Amino acid sequence: MMAENFTIIVALLEKIGIAALIVLAYRMIRHSRRDLLWTGPAVGIIFAFGAAITMIDPVVISPGVIVDIRTIMVALAALFGGIWAAVIASAATIALRIFIGGAGVVPGVVSILIAAVVSLVYARVTGGRRDLLGLTILGGLISLNFLAILLLPREALVASGFSTMPALFARNLFGTVVLGHLLAMEDSREAEFARFKREAERDPLTGLSNRRVLDMLEHDKSKRVGSYFSIILFDIDQFKRLNDTYGHDFGDRVLAEVAAIIANRMRGGDLVVRYGGEEICVVVAESLARNTIRVAEDIRQQIESADFEVNGRHVTVTVSAGVAESSAGMPSVYNVLRKADEALYEAKGAGRNNVQLYGARDHLPDAGM
């Protein structure tokens, strides 16, 4: 009996080589930029393919009774891809098992269903735990599919018996832990890459996007701001004097709070960027300048009326702003930004604490110094 179990384990270990293909395919999905809706089905297809490969050359225990690692594939599809992956992997694997035929068809189908359900329940209860201990627990739990052996015809049950149970249990544990750990490492790498990417595009003081995002937008603005857009360029008035008078900690707080006021006023599809120093750039998606200038003026008023306090003393903070819009002849983000910067220069020349529209000689009335 020990020799039989050893033979099964060795044969099943050969199938683990398929894990490399599964991991590579999974990596391609994780690195793709497709809508998340398709991630689950894609994972299901990959694991269905992996299960099919293992079922083509299985370990035959008795005529019609075969052993492979399909239940591991189905279980991990459910854990890493969710319910859609579980449904697709299970359906494809069940269809192939029925096509193969033999005395073990019914228990084989039941074992696949048990593996899928157990893994989905495990993922729901544990929150999708994928560390080594969690994967070991899952490997043990999917061994509940051993109950399906009771559905074998009597002669097949006698022929196979329960002597192979240790090998099958070892298969579930080892296969789930090894393949699951490799897949979890891919998830971890992708999450770390996404975190580094966010940090590279984010200003640490204000939490806004940084200028690098404008470079990306310049090359693919149609996906973010539509066919036309406007830009507001804000500048905190007398910011150097605020720093010199009240200290850099207060200056940092002012910058962060001004950034928050601006970001909270804008829509989700707009882009708010710390352009440099005390300048904040807003790319307003699908908005003409006549609408954008009203938004800029509203923000200017909010900032002027905000409560900035240092050492028990109220400090009034104001901003100047320049507004410009795109056109058929000026689709570049940086070209529009240059126009907004010229309008900002006009606003500062007009006494600060006002909003100017590029190309307009008349501007909004000053709100006072």
Catalytic residues, by residue number, are 278
| β partners of residue 315 | 308
DSSP code for 360: -
Calpha distance 205→243 (Å, rounded) = 15
Q: How far apart are CA 138 and CA 124, in angstroms?
A: 12
Taking the C-alpha atoms of residue 217 and residue 201, their distance in angstroms, rounded to an integer, is 12
DSSP 364: P
CA distance to 10, 47, 109, 153, 365, per residue, from 145 (Å): 21, 18, 10, 17, 77
Residue type, 28: M
- Inter-residue contact 234 to 319 (CB < 8 Å): yes
Query: Do residues 39 and 29 make contact, with C-beta atoms less than 8 angstroms apart?
Result: yes
- Provide the CB-side half-sphere exposure for 358 (13 A, CA): 23
Give the dihedral sign, CA 60/66/70/72: negative
Q: How many CB atoms lie within 10 A of CB 333?
A: 23
Nearest to 268 by CA among 256, 257, 284: 284
Token digits for 72?
């591991």
CA distance 197 to 193: 6
